[in-house]
C-alpha cells in the first residue's frame, strides 16, 4: 500500500513538473499612463439638444506584473488630475463653472488598480508579440481640491466617514497589443498599448438617480462609459 502511494506521488510530481516546465513565469515592473474620458452623465433636453457633465481622469504611475505564458496579473498605483467637463449642447467647457464661467481647478486623485489580462504570445526571434484582452478594477484612494480632502470625507472629529465610500471606483475592460524584447537571457523589455473602457462609477449612478427623482425621465438620462488609452512600459525577469 505504501509503495503504491509513493509511486502515485512520484507520478504526480513528474506530471506537475512537466506542466510547469512548459510555462514561462516572469515578474517585473515599470511606468504607466492612463487617460480616461467621458466619465459622466448625458441628458437629452429635447430632440436637438443633449447636455453632458463629467470628468477626465489623467494619471501617471507605476506597476508591477506577474506573468505566465497566457496571462498577466498587474497591480498599479497612479496619481493624476480629475478635470471637470460641461457641454450644454452648443459649447464645451473644461474646468469652467457652467453657471458663472469661473475657472475650477482640477482635483488631484490617487488610485490603486488591478488588471488581469489574457494573452497569446507569438515568438519572432528575440521579439514576442501578443494580443491582450482582460478586465480592470480601479480604486480611488483619495481626492483633493488643492490641500483640502474631498474623499475620504472628514467628519467633525477629523476622522474619515463612509459617506462617499466608493467615490469613483470603476470596473472596466482592456483590449490591445503588447510585446517583449529580449535584453538578455532572462531580462526583457515589455511594452503594452491598451484601450481602456470603464463602466459608470457609483458617484455617476447616484447623480443620475437624484436627477430622476428631481423629475428627469429615465429614458432621457444616461451614465456614460469612460474610455481612453492605457500605456505601460516596463522591464521583466523571466525564470
Give the integer Cα–Cα distance in Å for 58 and 172. 16
Is pLDDT larger for residue 166 or for residue 37? 37
Q: pLDDT (tens digit, 9 = 90+) per residue, 121-138?
A: 999 999 999 999 999 999
Closest CA to 63 of 26, 109, 110, 112: 112
Cα distance from N-terminal residue to C-terminal residue, the chain = 38
The larger pLDDT score, comparing residue 136 to residue 54, is at 136
Paired sense of beta strands 107-119 and 127-145, if any: antiparallel
Give the chain's largest Cα–Cα span. 86
SS (H, E, C) the chain: CHHHHHHHHHHHHHHHHHHHHCCCCEEEEEEEEEEEEEEEEEEECCCCCEEEEEEEEEEEEEEEEEEECCEEEEEEEEEEEEEEEEECCCCEEECECCCCCCECCCEEEEEEEEEEEEECCEEECCEEEEEEEEEEEEEEEEEEECCEEEECCECCCCCECCCCCCCCCEEEEEEEEEEEEECCCCEEEEEEEEEEEECCCHHHHHHHHHHHHCCCCHHHEEECCEEEEEEEEEEEEEC
pLDDT digits (tens, 9 = 90+) for 188-222: 999 999 999 999 888 888 888 888 888 888 888 99
Over residues 15-24, the pLDDT tens digits come to 444 444 457 8
| Residue-level pLDDT at 18 | 46
Q: What is the pLDDT of residue 34?
A: 96
pLDDT at 76 over 70: yes
* Residues 41 and 85: beta-carbon distance below 8 Å: no
Q: What is the mean pLDDT of the chain?
A: 85
Pairing of strands 226-238, 221-223: unpaired
- Amino acid 157: pLDDT: 60
Please, what's the b/e burial string for 124-142 (b: 16 or more CB within 10 A of its CB; e: otherwise)?
eeeebebebebebebebee
Residue 126 confidence (pLDDT): 93
pLDDT at 67: 96
Q: Which residues contact 20 (CB under 8 A, 6 or more apart)?
A: none
163 vs 233, residue with greater confidence: 233
* Low-confidence winner among 63-77, 106-120, 145-159, 190-204 (lowest mean pLDDT): 145-159
Confirm if 73 and 65 have CB atoms less than 8 A apart: yes
Q: What is the arithmetic mean of pLDDT over 100-117?
A: 89
Q: Which domains does the chain have, with CATH numbers?
A: 25-238 (2.40.160)
pLDDT at 13: 46
Amino acid at each position: 500500500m505504501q509503495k503504491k502511494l509513493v509511486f502515485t506521488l512520484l507520478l504526480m510530481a513528474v506530471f506537475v513538473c512537466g506542466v510547469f516546465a512548459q510555462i514561462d513565469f516572469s515578474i517585473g515592473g515599470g511606468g504607466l499612463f492612463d487617460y480616461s474620458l467621458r466619465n459622466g452623465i448625458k441628458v437629452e433636453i429635447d430632440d436637438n439638444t443633449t447636455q453632458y457633465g463629467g470628468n477626465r481622469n489623467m494619471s501617471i504611475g507605476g506597476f508591477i506584473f506577474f506573468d505566465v505564458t497566457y496571462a498577466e496579473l498587474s497591480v498599479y498605483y497612479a496619481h493624476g488630475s480629475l478635470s471637470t467637463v460641461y457641454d450644454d449642447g452648443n459649447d464645451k467647457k473644461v474646468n469652467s463653472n457652467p453657471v458663472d464661467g469661473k475657472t475650477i481647478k482640477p482635483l488631484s486623485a490617487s488610485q490603486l488598480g488591478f488588471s488581469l489580462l489574457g494573452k497569446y504570445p507569438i515568438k519572432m526571434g528575440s521579439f514576442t508579440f501578443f494580443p491582450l484582452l482582460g478586465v480592470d478594477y480601479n480604486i480611488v484612494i483619495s481626492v483633493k481640491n488643492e490641500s483640502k480632502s474631498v474623499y475620504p470625507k472628514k467628519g467633525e472629529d477629523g476622522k474619515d466617514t463612509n459617506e462617499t465610500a466608493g467615490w469613483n471606483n470603476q470596473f472596466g475592460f482592456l483590449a490591445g497589443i503588447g510585446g517583449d524584447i529580449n535584453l538578455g537571457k532572462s531580462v526583457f523589455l515589455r511594452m503594452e498599448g491598451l484601450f481602456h473602457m470603464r463602466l459608470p462609477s457609483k458617484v455617476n449612478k447616484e447623480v443620475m438617480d437624484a436627477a430622476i427623482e428631481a423629475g428627469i425621465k429615465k429614458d432621457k438620462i444616461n451614465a456614460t462609459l469612460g474610455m481612453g488609452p492605457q500605456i505601460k512600459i516596463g522591464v521583466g525577469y523571466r525564470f
